[in-house]
A and B are shown apart, each in its own frame.
Chain A
Amino acid sequence: MLYFEDVELGDEIGPLETEATDDGVLAFCQVWNNRTPNRFTDQAIAEEANLPGPIVPGIMSMGMMARLLTDWAGAEALKDLDVVFRQPVPHHKPITIAATVTDTRQEDGENVVECDILMTGAEGERYVGGKAIIALPSKP
């Protein structure tokens, strides 16, 4: 159980190392009801959209980033995740998700932890970056 008092400014969360596969993206598109083939699943369609290859949907990246935080803080702790999709995320390339605690405070009676969260590539590519707000319980 993670408590508010255990967290300090500057704490690093993660990293979570992962990768998006063609099958994973296809499955995501299906539950999303996004008709395939599309720029997330098909090379030719991706190239028509000026992309080097099929990319990972932004909201799939976002879901993966949320996972880092729910693993760390618990299932109901994540209150707000706000990200910018900076660079297209390719399939089958290493992805690192990590976060840094940038603020801890009391707000509206809750213990709030804020962190910067980034999804980066093997060469330091900043794929997705943003901010998360997490509510944590106090030590009993």
Chain B
Amino acid sequence: MATELEYDRSLYGIEHDAGPFEVTESQIQAFSRGIAETNPIYTDAAAAKSQGFQDIVAPPTFCTIMVHRVSLPDIGLKFGGKPVTGGMHAGQRVQARAPITAGDHLTASSHLKEVYPKTGRTGTMVFIVWETTFRNQDGTVVADVQESFIRRG
């Protein structure tokens, strides 16, 4: 029930910033290897340049490994009066806005989007949703990532 859910609601509207982080060739290659990506523009700078890119290109969900670099506060979640900690990843959305290439410097800005309860096979859960916007050195938004976490009540 909504009234049983307590957390720090003052977090709404606050942006948490981090960066800039340099995107390196080796990071992109390691990420591509991790997802078994073999398209040469994601693994080889020469191939990427021959297709008109500045440098090796990051696969479209690359920013998902950088979201955690933003230091996010504990929302102080309590359900029915009891603190609820831990959590598993419930869902993710990536909107790829512009290509990311090696040599880019990205900044990240995150805010709390939503907190709500629901029930399922494993009991009562609380969903916590954070949104993060990534911009490159030109101020261009390169990606928006939305992450949803479950905590069990």
Query: Is there any pair of Cβ atoms, one from A and one from B, under 8 angstroms apart in the complex?
Result: yes
Partner of A32, one of B41, B68, B94: B68
Q: Contacts A57-B89, A70-B59, A85-B89 given; indicate if A18 touches B36 (C-beta within 8 A).
A: yes
Contact between chains at A31 and B36 (CB < 8 Å)? no
Cβ-defined contact, B61 with A81, below 8 A: yes
The interface on chain B, measured as residues whose beta carbon lies within 8 A of the other chain's beta carbons, has a size of 32
Tell me, in angstroms, the Cα distance from A28 to B27 when the chains sit together.
10
What's the count of A-B pairs with C-beta under 8 Å? 98
CA distance A49 to B90 in the complex (A): 15
Q: Are B93 and A82 in contact, with the CB atoms below 8 A?
A: yes
Expressed in whole angstroms, the Cα–Cα distance for A7 and B8 within the complex equals 47
Residues of A within 8 A of B59 (CB): 63, 66-67, 70
Report Cα–Cα, A41/B106, bound state, in Å. 29
Q: With A75-B42, A83-B93, A85-B92 known to touch, is A28 a contact of B34 (CB < 8 Å)?
A: yes
Residue numbers of B with Cβ under 8 A of A are: 27, 30-31, 33-37, 39, 41-42, 51, 57, 59-61, 64-65, 68-69, 86, 88-96, 99, 146
